[in-house]
Structure formats: structure tokens, C-alpha cells
């Protein structure tokens, strides 16, 4: 999602132009992550001054803005700290005021860059506004910057350290994040923290480091919890009580870090590069340190100190190793992957977690969708639910139609947006219309939404892009939170849309006690899903072998299934058409003898989905019809299913709840399409004639 980069030099002379070039180059290396705006925060000409440059659009536009700025590019800094960010909107549409770094106040006392989502930012914002603070943006991050100032202002007599202040802030936050903090009160210092979002620190020195690790520092024995509690004791509201000054007993033990000691005991020139991933630092240094969850890193006076947010549970090492990157810059723009599509397929264990994060409580087996909360009574009273989408998004709607009807007992229809408009479909005021689009800018889907709005229907948007047309114009909605998807063929957005719609069905049925057990069954299945997706991905070599030995020379491919798996067949066939340019057709197994059976012989490649559910016996019948015509299908089945013929070629996947099984069954088809395209020498990420966001009819 967002990209973080920060640069801190100590006893290394750099002029402002060079510093800005380092920052913008770092952001350029993070462009592949996807973003809609970019910004930097640097020191001004006078002590205590901070300059922010922000631009919606590309990093190249930010560079132009900096070059046209009024700051002196030749001003030299022996020591300084600066931060930079590329933003993928999750709270607030892309705009200069929502672009990072976010400031605490007009004097820039604290500025922050952030990757992730603060799920309780609304509550924090409300409490801070009641205390007189004014907000400038729509972002969740600004609440963190303002909270820094609130805690600082609450300590007029005895100032706390930068690290202690950040600890007090983090204790109030819920969600996943990686932060970098900069403050005029702590010149030339940076504090970073992470929980759930990656962050690394590159180290560059002329001399060899004395040791290849950094000690993790803890509060003195017995004072860990006490020290933290005194910073933010609970208030009557449960939020943001003014912190008391840190007691002497709770001071952080701080020694000189052994890694940065010089032979003569004198400070040595050093540079630190903080980034979301290695692509941004590899051109500067190959010596990097990866932060763990709940690590807080403090860079000051040429030293790096790492603290823990909470009392250590003994599971993590007491040191953080400084590692040497063995890869070159050209190799890591896509991480360890050859293509963005491959990377995005492998990101699905994490992207499905991000879709559920802060929404599914596995302890209480409940689902909360904040974007729909106010409209749930209206949706439940609707006469029917009409889904409208295109391409892969249409398939995600089709995949979840049956569970919507089962849980809500409301009639559901799924429409291709272009056909929906062509037919001038009757829409009524008590209809609920759901519009699904990865980009939120799909032209046909937008026109279908406007058609429904004109007729008084309640319109719900399900998108992956905050600030998109659908997210702005719909009455309410769900952000799927899959992160940027660069490959034209949608992979992780499909699984995230699928899960978002499953969650919506669960929430809508909460007033039906007869569905309690079914809801709990599905939520338990969601809990197991990320690990099961990882298990499927581990069989990639088998999928590659099937592609090269069985399917590579074919000109056509039929994919069959029924029930929940019909949508999987359509989506798998679409992927194969999109990137391998092979004709492929998804067929409802129940329709086999009504025409498609004429195509079956020993030369026609077939994939049939036979994972266990209520319709399994009917799919067995379809398999018998195929084999009777000398067909030799590849069978997607559950692990250990002994009813599958022993001589059949199989793709085995873990078993899950019937309505979630399609999330596991689609992974092999995504990877088969990828390998077929590679074998044919096609551009996987940018297939011919196709665009990522279809903004014309």
C-alpha cells in the first residue's frame, strides 16, 4: 500500500538539494507499490522550521514542485532528519491536504508518515476535537500527529523523551501500522514504530560496524508496565488522559549501542535510511535491519536504539541483526517475484487478512462493517439485492450470491453492468443495489449506479480505491483494503472482494437467530483461510508442471463446476483468456449434456472442480459423462478424497466451508494462467488490448 522513506545523516554534510534527491529517489523506488500522491518533510532554514512539499499524482510532479519551491537548495546540513511518503488512499480521497506527511498543527511541531490503518481514528479524532484541536485532513494519520501534540502539551513542567512520547501514543492506537515521527522539539531525531506493516532501517558508514546487531532495550526490571502506565493512565472516557511525567523508576535504560561505537570512542559519520522495503535503500547501502512487530526505533546523534512497546514475552530475540542484502536493485522492484501478477497472487494470504482486519472478531465470532452500520436497517428492509459489476468483480458477486440468499432470505440478482443498462432494468425505491469495482472508476458500473440513484434505490459501493467515483457517489460502502494491484489481471482484488461480500452477508443476517450456527461456521472458516491459501501456494511447482506438460500445446480449455464453484470456473477461464490468450470457457456442469458435451473427446483439455459440498454427487455424474467420452480431465479436489479415480490427474486443495471453497480453488487456476502465459512468452502484467481500469463504456 503506502510507501515510507526517511533519511537521517549525522556528521555527513549534505545540501538540501541532495537530501531532496535522496528522498524522491527513495519514493521512486517504492512507486511499484501503487500510490495516488506523494510528499516529503524537511528542515527549514531556521531552527524549528519544517517545510512540507506535497503533490497529488506522480513522484515526478513532486520533484518539479520541490525544484520550484522557495527554499534554498544549497543550504548545507551536517546533521538532519527528513521523511517522505507515497500514499494509497484509505481514509479521505487523494488530495494535497490528505497527503502525508501530516502535521499536528500549523507550526509543524510533529509530522508523521504512516502505512496501514488506525481503526479507532474516529474515536481519537472525536476526543481530540472536544479538547479544542482542529483537524485539516480526512485521514486517520492526522489523529496520530495531533495526539503527539496533545501528550506533549500535557507535560509543560517535565518533558518526556521522544521515545516515551511515541510509546504513549501507540498505546492508544488500534489497527496495523508503520510510522515515522519527526518533531521540532527533537531536532535531527526520528522515531519509527511498526505493527503489522513492514519497516526496515539501512545503515551506511565509512568504517565497518563493530558488531552486526543492535541490542533491544527494555525498561529496568519490574518497571516496564509501570513506566508505560504513567504515560497514559485511563481517563473517565477511557481515552487520552493527560500523561503524568515519567517517574524516575520507569526511565528507559539507555547505553551506547555497541554497533555504532568507533575504535577511538569518538562519534563516527553515519547515515540511516528507513523504508517500507529494501528497494528504496539498496542503492545507498546493503546493510539493513528489519524491525519486528511492536519495535520502536529511535535514531539520534548517530546512534540507533530499539525499544519494545510492551514487556517482552521471551519469544523474540533481545537483538536485531544487521543483515547484508544479497540482491541488486534491479531484482527487487517486484521483490523476489518475476512479475507483479505473481507477486499479487502470493500476497493473497496477507491481503485477505487486511480485508478482515478490524472487521472480523474471531473471539466473539462477530463481523462489523463501519461503512454500512447506519444503513443496515434500510438494507434489511429491501425487497431485493441487485449486484452490478464487470469482469472479475462480476464473478465475485456471482460467487457470493447463494450465501446472500441463504443467510438473508432476500432475493438476489447479479447483473453485468453493461447488459443491465442495455435492458433498462426496472429498479424501485426499496431495492438495494451493490456496485463492485476494484478501481471504483469502471465506466459501465458507474453509469449503472447513477441509473439506480435516479430511481431512488439505496446504492452500496464495494471498491479498492478510496476517493474513486463509486466510493464518492454511493450512499455507503465497503473498502476491500487489498492494497494496490498493478497487474492488469485481477487476482488478490478478487479474493478480497469475495471476502468483503461474505462479511456483508454475515452482517445483514445478524438479526436472524436461525442462522447463528451457519454464521459461526463461516467465521471459523475465515479464520483458517490465510493458512490454507499459503498451503495451496506451496504446490506451485505442480501447477507449473501441469501447465507445461498437459495444457501448453492446447488451443482451448473447458473448466467445469456447479453451485458455489460455477463462479470459480468463470473466473479461472477469464484469467486464462486474459493473459495466456488461450480460448477458455467456464461451464456449469449441470448444462454439460445440453450442448458442451459435444466438445468432449480425448483431445479436449478439461478441468473439473470436485471439492466436497452438497452438490458433489451431481459433479461426480458430470465426471462420469466426460470419462465415458474418453475425456481425461484434471480434477480439483479436496486433500485425501478417496472417491477420486486413482489414475486421474488431480490438484488437491484444503477443505473449508462450502461458500469459502472457491477462494482456495481459484488459486491453482490463477497460477496455471500465469505459467501458461510465461511458457508462451507473453507479458503477464500488461496483456495486449487490456487496461487495469476500464474508464470507457
| Cell, residue 623 | 465426471
- Residues facing residue 52 across a β-bridge: 41
SS3 353: helix
Q: In which element (H, E) is residue 67 found?
A: helix 59-67
Rounded Cα–Cα distance for residues 24 and 685 (Å): 25
In the block, cell 465497503 appears at 478
Cβ(627)–Cβ(597) under 8 Å?
no
| Cell, residue 198 | 513492514
DSSP 247: P
**Contacting residues for 218 by C-beta, under 8 A, at least 6 apart:** 224, 253, 307, 308, 311, 312
Decide the pairing of beta strands 634-638 and 384-389.
unpaired
Nearest one of 178, 188, 185, 193 to 42, comparing CA atoms: 188
Rounded Cα–Cα distance for residues 360 and 492 (Å): 19
Q: What SS3 string covers 408-438?
A: HCCCEEEEEHHHHHHCCCCCCCCEEEEEEEC
Q: Per the residue annotation, which of 2, 20, 452, 459 is the catalytic one?
A: 2
For the chain, the residue count is: 697
390 catalytic? Reply is: no
Q: In which element (H, E) is residue 38 found?
A: strand 37-43
Q: What SS3 string covers 161-198?
A: CHHHHHHHHHCCCCEEEEEEEEECCCCCCEEEEEEECC
DSSP assignments along 517-559, one per residue? HHHHHHHHHHHHHHHHHHHHHTTHHHHHHHIIIIITT-SEEEE
| Cell, residue 662 | 472457491
| Cell, residue 492 | 488478490
Cβ(608)–Cβ(651) under 8 Å?
no
Rounded Cα–Cα distance for residues 93 and 87 (Å): 10
CA-CA distances (angstroms) from residue 98 to 30, 94, 114?
19, 6, 12
CA-CA distances (angstroms) from residue 205 to 189, 208, 267, 274?
18, 7, 11, 15
Cβ(183)–Cβ(145) under 8 Å?
no
As annotated, the active-site residues are 2
Amino acid at each position: 500500500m503506502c510507501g515510507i522513506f526517511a533519511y537521517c545523516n549525522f556528521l555527513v554534510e549534505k545540501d538540501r538539494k541532495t537530501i531532496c534527491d535522496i528522498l524522491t529517489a527513495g519514493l521512486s523506488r517504492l512507486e511499484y507499490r501503487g500510490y495516488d500522491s506523494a510528499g516529503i518533510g524537511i528542515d527549514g532554514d531556521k531552527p524549528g522550521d519544517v517545510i512540507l512539499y506535497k503533490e497529488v499524482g506522480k513522484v515526478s510532479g513532486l520533484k518539479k514542485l520541490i525544484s520550484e519551491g522557495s527554499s534554498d537548495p544549497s543550504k548545507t546540513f551536517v546533521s538532519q532528519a527528513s521523511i517522505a511518503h507515497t500514499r494509497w488512499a484509505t481514509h479521505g480521497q487523494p488530495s494535497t491536504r490528505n497527503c502525508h506527511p501530516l502535521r499536528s498543527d500549523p507550526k509543524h511541531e510533529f509530522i508523521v508518515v504512516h502505512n496501514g490503518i488506525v481503526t479507532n481514528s474516529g474515536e481519537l479524532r472525536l476526543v481530540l476535537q472536544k479538547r479544542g484541536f482542529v483537524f485539516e485532513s480526512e485521514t486517520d494519520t492526522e489523529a496520530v500527529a495531533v495526539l503527539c501534540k496533545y501528550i506533549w502539551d500535557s507535560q509543560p513542567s517535565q518533558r518526556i523523551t521522544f521515545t516515551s512520547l511515541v510509546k504513549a501514543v501507540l498505546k492508544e492506537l488500534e489497527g496495523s501500522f508503520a510510522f515515522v515521527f519527526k518533531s521540532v522539539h527533537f531536532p535531527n531525531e526520528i522515531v519509527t514504530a511498526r505493527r503489522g506493516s513492514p519497516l526496515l532501517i539501512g545503515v551506511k558508514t565509512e568504517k565497518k560496524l563493530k558488531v552486526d546487531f543492535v541490542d533491544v532495550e527494555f525498561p529496568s526490571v519490574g518497571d516496564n508496565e509501570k513506566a508505560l502506565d504513567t504515560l497514559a493512565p485511563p481517563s473517565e472516557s477511557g481515552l487520552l488522559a493527560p500523561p503524568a511525567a515519567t517517574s524516575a523508576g520507569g526511565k528507559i535504560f539507555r547505553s551506547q549501542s555497541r554497533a555504532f561505537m568507533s575504535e577511538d570512542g569518538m562519534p563516527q559519520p553515519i547515515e540511516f535510511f528507513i523504508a517500507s522495503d529494501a528497494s528504496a535503500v539498496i542503492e545507498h547501502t546493503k546493510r539493513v535491519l528489519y524491525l519486528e512487530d511492536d519495535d520502536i526505533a529511535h535514531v539520534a546523534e548517530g546512534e540507533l536504539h530499539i525499544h519494545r512497546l510492551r514487556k517482552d514475552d521471551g519469544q523474540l530475540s533481545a537483538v536485531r541483526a544487521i543483515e547484508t542484502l544479497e540482491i541488486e536493485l534491479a531484482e527487487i522492484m517486484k521483490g523476489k517475484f518475476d512479475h507483479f501478477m505473481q507477486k499479487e497472487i502470493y500476497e493473497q494470504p496477507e491481503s485477505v487478512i487486511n480485508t478482515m482486519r478490524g472487521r472480523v472478531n474471531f473471539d466473539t465470532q462477530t463481523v462489523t462493517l463501519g461503512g454500512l452500520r447506519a444503513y443496515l436497517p434500510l438494507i434489511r428492509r429491501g425487497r431485493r439485492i441487485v449486484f452490478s459489476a464487470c469482469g472479475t468483480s462480476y464473478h465475485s458477486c456471482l460467487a457470493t450470491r447463494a450465501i446472500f440468499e441463504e443467510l438473508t432470505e432476500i432475493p438476489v440478482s447479479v447483473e453485468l453492468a453493461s447488459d443491465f443498462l442495455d435492458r433498462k432494468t426496472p429498479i424501485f425505491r426499496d431495492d438495494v443495489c451493490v456496485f463492485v469495482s476494484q478501481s471504483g472508476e469502471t465506466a459501465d458500473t458507474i453509469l449503472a449506479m447513477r441509473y439506480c440513484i435516479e430511481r431512488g434505490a439505496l446504492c452500496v459501493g464495494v471498491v479498492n480505491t478510496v476517493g474513486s467515483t463509486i466510493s464518492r457517489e454511493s450512499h455507503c460502502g465497503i473498502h476491500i483494503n487489498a492494497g494496490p494491484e498493478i497487474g492488469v489481471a485481477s487476482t488478490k482484488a478478487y479474493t478480497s472482494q469475495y471476502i468483503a461480500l461474505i462479511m456483508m452477508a454475515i452482517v445483514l443476517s445478524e438479526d436472524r437467530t436461525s442462522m447463528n450456527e451457519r454464521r459461526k461456521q463461516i467465521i471459523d472458516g475465515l479464520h483458517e483461510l490465510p493458512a490454507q491459501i499459503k498451503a495451496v501456494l506451496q504446490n506451485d511447482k505442480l501447477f507449473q508442471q501441469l501447465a507445461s506438460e498437459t495444457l501448453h500445446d492446447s488451443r482451448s480449455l473447458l473448466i467445469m463446476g456447479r453451485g458455489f464453484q460455477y463462479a470459480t470456473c468463470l473466473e479461472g477461464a477469464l484469467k486464462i483468456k486474459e493473459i495466456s490468450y488461450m480460448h477458455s470457457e467456464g461451464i456449469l456442469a449441470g448444462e454439460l449434456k445440453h450442448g458442451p458435451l459435444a466438445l468432449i473427446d480425448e483431445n479436449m483439455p478439461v478441468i473439473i472442480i470436485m471439492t466436497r459440498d452438497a452438490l458433489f454427487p451431481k459433479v461426480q455424474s458430470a465426471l462420469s459423462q466426460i470419462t465415458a467420452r474418453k475425456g481425461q480431465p484434471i480434477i480439483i479436489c479436496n486433500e485425501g478424497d478417496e472417491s477420486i479415480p486413482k489414475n486421474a490427474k488431480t490438484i488437491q486443495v484444503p477443505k473449508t466451508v462450502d461458500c469459502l471453497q472457491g477462494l482456495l480453488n481459484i488459486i491453482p487456476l490463477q497460477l496455471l494462467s500465469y505459467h501458461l502465459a510465461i511458457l508462451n512468452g507473453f507479458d503477464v502484467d500488461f496483456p495486449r488490448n487490456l487496461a487495469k481500469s476500464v474508464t470507457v463504456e
